[in-house]
Amino acid sequence: MPIEPITNSRLYRKVADQIALLIQSGVYQPGQKLPGERNLIAHLGVSRASLREALISLEAEGLIEIRDRAGIFVLSHDKEITTATQETDVLELFFARELVEVEIAALAARHAKAEHIDTLMSLLGKMVNCSVSDLQYVDYDRQFHQTLAQACGNRVLHRTVSLLWESTEQIIDKSSAMLTKSESTWQAVVMEHRDIFHAIRDKDPHSARIAMHLHLKNAIDRIKIRLH
């Protein structure tokens, strides 16, 4: 089974799916080391950032283990790998996100470096200029939340948020209701992200915690309305 170039949108997920297929089909066996990053990048035709995001997602799913300086190794997959979307419904997923990401926002306000602030500001600008009809808004949203997790300086938290967002995107892919947003609703979402950004920029953990709690509470309320 050859490795095929990746050309579609949401690259990291496409990359993760192809590597997962190679593992699950037996091309790469448990305990085997995957090709190096440069090799994978060359064959897949994607950026280093997209590949690394895909690998983090696969590690969170339990398919691989990234060992510092040693490489990427396939884990045993005798047991069926499940994700949050297979075991929970969308509301439970967002409640879990609320529990995790509220504290991540507070930590990010304490530990965010200048490059994290710059990335968040850039993503917020893209969200401001993005129409609800442009499905890139999902990618900007995800990148914003993952940048907050990166700013904490804790790889476990970063991988946890990656897994939660992978589950969120799987739900979005399967449910047209999740994509049903009005322009006014999207603008409200953007303003919520703006409040989070301001708290992070001002290094105000209390305000960051409140802003993230309000954002995810509102997200849960909006989902309840769309599902009924």
- Domain coordinates of the chain in residue numbers? 11-74, 84-227
Model confidence band, residue 145 (pLDDT cutoffs 50, 70, 90): very high
pLDDT confidence bin for 152, thresholds 50/70/90 = very high
Q: Which residue has the higher pLDDT, 208 or 59?
A: 208
The class (CATH top level) of 84-227 is mainly alpha
Q: Which three-class secondary structure state does DSSP give residue 215? A: helix
Asked whether the beta carbons of 32 and 77 are under 8 A apart, the reply is no
- Tell me, what's the pLDDT at 114? 96
Decide which of 197 and 68 is more confident: 197
Query: pLDDT tens digit string along 181-208?
Result: 688 888 999 999 999 999 999 999 999 9
Mean pLDDT to the nearest integer, 156-169: 82
3-10: long-range contacts at Cβ-Cβ below 8 A with a sequence spacing of 24 or more?
Answer: 3/40, 3/43, 3/44, 4/44, 5/43, 5/44, 5/45, 6/44, 6/45, 6/46, 6/50, 7/45, 9/135, 9/136, 9/139, 10/139, 10/169
Phi/psi at 73 (5° precision)? -120, 145
For residues 108 and 155, the model is more confident at: 108
In single-letter form, the type of residue at position 15 comes to V
Mean pLDDT, residues 91-101: 85
The CA-to-CA distance between both ends of the chain, in Å, stands at 44
CB 18 within 8 A of CB 5: no
CATH class of 11-74: mainly alpha
